[in-house]
C-alpha cells in the first residue's frame, strides 16, 4: 500500500499508544462499515435486514480465512476465545482412557477457566508447571501420553511475548493420538498464522488486539477433515444444517464449522472485526511486524540495551529490579502501556514513530531492564 498507515487509525492520546496486545486502535473506516453493515439495513429494512447482516458475518469469516490461509467453511464466529475453546472441546468424540486436557500454567487464565469446567464431561485439566518452559517442545513431549485428549499451546505468550513452536507441538500431539488447539490471540495480525501448514486441528483467536477489530469477535477454525466428527454441546438454531427449518423435533448439525455457532449471532462485532482485518491485510502483516521491530530497535538503542526479539511476538515485555520507577518514567510521558506483576508490556505499532520510540527508550535508560 502507498498510504501512510498511521492515517488509517483513530489513535487515543495523549502520549504514545502501545497497547496492541490489549486493544488495537480503531480503523477510521470502521464507523462507516458498521453503519453500512448493521445500522442502515436495520433502519431501512427492519427484520428484512438479515440478508445484509448475514453477508456482513460471512465477510468476517472470509477475512479470517484469508488471514490464516483457511477456508470460510472452516471458520465459525464466537463471542470469545473461551467460548470457542469450550465449543470445540465439548464436542470431541470420547476415547476410553483419554481424559486429560493439557496446557501450560503460562497460558492466559481464561483458557484454563474454560478447560477446567469440562471436568463435568469427565475431563481433567493438567497444567505444565510454570517453572517449565512452554516454548520447549521437550516439555510438551514429557507431558504427553495415551491419557491426553487435547493439547492447547499458546502461539505467543502474553506475559513474555515468547513464541511457541506450535507446529512441532502439534506433531507431538498427533503422534500421541491427541488433538491440538492453538491459542493465537497475541499472534494474529503480527505473525504469520498458518494452522493448516502447522498441522494443528483447531485454532482459536480474537480480533480485539493486533487485528484492531474491537471486542466480541472471537472465532474458531477447525480443520475441515475433522469437523464432521465433532458434535458440540452448546448449540442453537444457527448450529443447524438448515437454520430456517423451524422444526423443534429435528436438529441436524451444520456440515461446516457453523455447527459450533449457537443461537442468534451478534452482527456488530463481526462487522467491526471484518473492517479491522481488512485494514491489517491492506497494510500487510509483514509490514506491521517490520515497523514494530524497527521501533523496538530504536528504543533499545536509546536505552543502551540489547533486546533479542527473534523468538518473540510484538510485545516488548520488560522486567527489572525497580519496575515501579520504570513505570513512573513511562507515565510521565503519558505513555499508554500496561503492567503484569513485575513485567511492563509495550507494543509498538504502525501508528507509532521513531521519535516516540527513542523518547521511551531514553526514559528507561537507567533502570537496567531486560526481557521477561
Tens-place pLDDT, residues 310-347: 999 999 999 999 999 999 999 999 999 999 999 999 99
Which CATH number is correct for 5-25+284-371, 3.90.1150.10, 3.10.50.40, 3.50.50.100, 3.50.50.60? 3.90.1150.10
Which of 261, 217, 59, 30 lies closest to 51 in space, CA to CA? 59
Mean pLDDT of 132-145: 97
Output the nine-digit C-alpha cell for 317.
515485555
C-alpha cell at 55: 453477508
* Residue in this structure with the C-alpha cell 477433515, named with its chain if needed: 225
**pLDDT-derived band of residue 4, with 50, 70 and 90 as boundaries?**
confident
What pTM was estimated for this model as a whole?
A: 0.95
Task: Record the cell numbers describing residue 162, joined without a space.
Answer: 515468547
The closest alpha carbon to 354, from 21, 7, 6, belongs to: 6
Q: What is the pLDDT of residue 72?
A: 98
ω into residue 14 within 30 of 0, thus cis? yes
> Average pLDDT of 32-59?
97
| Residue 187 clears pLDDT 70, i.e. is over it | yes
Grid cell, residue 145, equals 501420553
- Read off φ and ψ for residue 297, nearest 5 degrees: -60, -40
Distance between CA atoms of 186 and 166, rounded to whole angstroms? 13
- List the beta bridge partners of residue 345: 317, 338
Could you state, in order of their start, the residue ranges of all structural domains in the chain?
A: 5-25+284-371, 30-281
Q: What is the pLDDT of residue 2?
A: 52
Topology of domain 30-281 in CATH is 3.40.640
- Say whether 253 sits in a helix, a strand or coil: strand
Assess whether pLDDT exceeds 60 at residue 1.
no
- Secondary structure of residue 369 in the 3-state scheme: coil
Q: And the C-alpha cell for 135? A: 516454548
Domains 5-25+284-371 and 30-281 share a fold: no
Per-residue pLDDT tens over the stretch 153-167: 999 999 999 999 999
Write the pLDDT tens digit of every residue in 81-109. Answer: 999 999 999 999 999 999 999 999 999 99
pLDDT, position 170: 98
Dump pLDDT digits (tens) for 282-316: 999 999 999 999 999 999 999 999 999 999 999 99
For the chain, the average pLDDT equals 96
Amino acid at each position: 500500500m502507498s498510504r501512510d498507515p498511521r492515517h488509517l487509525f483513530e489513535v487515543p492520546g495523549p502520549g504514545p499508544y502501545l497497547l496492541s496486545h490489549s486493544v488495537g486502535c480503531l480503523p477510521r473506516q470502521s464507523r462507516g462499515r458498521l453503519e453500512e453493515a448493521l445500522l442502515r439495513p436495520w433502519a431501512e429494512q427492519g427484520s428484512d435486514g438479515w440478508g445484509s447482516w448475514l453477508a456482513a458475518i460471512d465477510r468476517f469469516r472470509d477475512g479470517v480465512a484469508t488471514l490464516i490461509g483457511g477456508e470460510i467453511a472452516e471458520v465459525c464466529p464466537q463471542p470469545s476465545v473461551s467460548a470457542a475453546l469450550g465449543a470445540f472441546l465439548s464436542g470431541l468424540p470420547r476415547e476410553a482412557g483419554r481424559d486429560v486436557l493439557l496446557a501450560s500454567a503460562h497460558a492466559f487464565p481464561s483458557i484454563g477457566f474454560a478447560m477446567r469446567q469440562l471436568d463435568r464431561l469427565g475431563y481433567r485439566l493438567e497444567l505444565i508447571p510454570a517453572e517449565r518452559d512452554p516454548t520447549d517442545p521437550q516439555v510438551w513431549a514429557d507431558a504427553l501420553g495415551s491419557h491426553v485428549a487435547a493439547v492447547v499451546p499458546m502461539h505467543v505468550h502474553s506475559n513474555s511475548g515468547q513464541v511457541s513452536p506450535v507446529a512441532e507441538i502439534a506433531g507431538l500431539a498427533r503422534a500421541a493420538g491427541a488433538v491440538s488447539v492453538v491459542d493465537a490471540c497475541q499472534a494474529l495480525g503480527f505473525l504469520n498464522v498458518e494452522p493448516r501448514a502447522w498441522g494443528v486441528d483447531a485454532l482459536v483467536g480474537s480480533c480485539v488486539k493486533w487485528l484492531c477489530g474491537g471486542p466480541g469477535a472471537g472465532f474458531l477454525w477447525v480443520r475441515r477433515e475433522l469437523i464432521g466428527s465433532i458434535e458440540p454441546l452448546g448449540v442453537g438454531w444457527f448450529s443447524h444444517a438448515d437454520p430456517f427449518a423451524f422444526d423443534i423435533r429435528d436438529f441436524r448439525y451444520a456440515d461446516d464449522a457453523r455447527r459450533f455457532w449457537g443461537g442468534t449471532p451478534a452482527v456488530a462485532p463481526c462487522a467491526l472485526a471484518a473492517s479491522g482485518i481488512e485494514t491489517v491485510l491492506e497494510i500487510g502483516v509483514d509490514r506491521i511486524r517490520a515497523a514494530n521491530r524497527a521501533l523496538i530497535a530504536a528504543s533499545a538503542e536509546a536505552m543502551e540495551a540489547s533486546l533479542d526479539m527473534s523468538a518473540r511476538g510484538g510485545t516488548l515485555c520488560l522486567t527489572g529490579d525497580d519496575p515501579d520507577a520504570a513505570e513512573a518514567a513511562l507515565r510521565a510521558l503519558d505513555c499508554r502501556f500496561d503492567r503484569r506483576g513485575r513485567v511492563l508490556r509495550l507494543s509498538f505499532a504502525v501508528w507509532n514513530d521513531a521519535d516516540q520510540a527513542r523518547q521511551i527508550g531514553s526514559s528507561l535508560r537507567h533502570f537496567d531492564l531486560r526481557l521477561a
